């Protein structure tokens, strides 16, 4: 009876230590946005499988390890006083905004047209992106998650 109790205590302590390690890791690497993992090798991104678990943000790759980050932008996107519209189909709502590893920002409309937005950068993206949600093994997976 006493020995079993001691083992339970030890397991509890181990679990607490692991939880603390996770929290410390999280504090070092906050990822306040959706991320798309960089492919393991060129052209084979589908081989990288990342489980979509509640702790995904804790195990997530660092900013340097991802291809880019993305967020949904449902409201009007006003840049330098003008509402941004898709140059190809003219829509002005329901964007996915990407920020790539080179800090360039891209817009994608619901029809899948993508255009670089030179007036926006990573600083703007980080200021406007919400808390971490998910990270994705592929761009397609991320787009599906965001409703595109
Ligand atoms: Zn479009």
pLDDT tens-digit profile of 53-73? Answer: 444 444 455 556 678 889 999
> Residue 133 has which token pair?
């949600």
pLDDT tops 90 at residue 79: yes
pLDDT tops 60 at residue 111: yes
Cα 106 to ligand 1 centroid, rounded to whole Å: 13
Cα 87 to ligand 1 centroid, rounded to whole Å: 7
Q: Residues for the chain: how many in total?
A: 148
Cα 30 to ligand 1 centroid, rounded to whole Å: 32
Cα 108 to ligand 1 centroid, rounded to whole Å: 7
- Whole-model pTM: value is 0.57
Q: Where are the domains of the chain?
A: 1-30, 31-145
Q: Report, as an integer, the average pLDDT of 71-82.
A: 93
Cα 8 to ligand 1 centroid, rounded to whole Å: 59
Cα 92 to ligand 1 centroid, rounded to whole Å: 9
pLDDT digits (tens, 9 = 90+) for 7-53: 777 777 777 777 666 655 555 444 456 666 555 444 444 444 444 54
Residues 23-31: contacts with CB within 8 Å, 24+ apart? 25/58, 26/57, 26/58, 29/60, 29/62, 30/132, 31/57, 31/60, 31/62, 31/63, 31/69, 31/132, 31/135
For residue 95, the model assigns a pLDDT of 96
For residue 77, the model assigns a pLDDT of 95
For residue 44, the model assigns a pLDDT of 41
Instruction: Judge contact between 89 and 111, C-beta under 8 A.
Output: yes
Cα 135 to ligand 1 centroid, rounded to whole Å: 25
């Amino acid at each position: 009876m006493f020995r079993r109790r001691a083992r339970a205590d030890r397991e509890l302590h181990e679990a607490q230590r692991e939880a603390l390690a996770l929290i410390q890791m999280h504090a070092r690497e906050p990822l306040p946005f959706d991320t798309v993992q960089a492919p393991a090798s060129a052209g084979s991104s589908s081989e990288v499988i990342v489980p979509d678990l509640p702790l995904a943000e804790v195990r997530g790759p660092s900013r340097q390890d991802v291809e880019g980050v993305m967020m949904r932008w449902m409201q009007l996107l006003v840049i330098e006083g003008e509402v941004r519209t898709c140059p190809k189909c003219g829509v002005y709502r329901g964007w996915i905004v990407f920020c790539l590893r080179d800090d360039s920002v891209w817009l994608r409309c619901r029809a899948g047209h993508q255009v670089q937005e030179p007036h926006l950068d990573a600083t703007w993206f980080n200021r406007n992106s919400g808390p971490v949600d998910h990270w994705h093994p592929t761009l397609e997976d991320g787009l599906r998650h965001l409703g595109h």
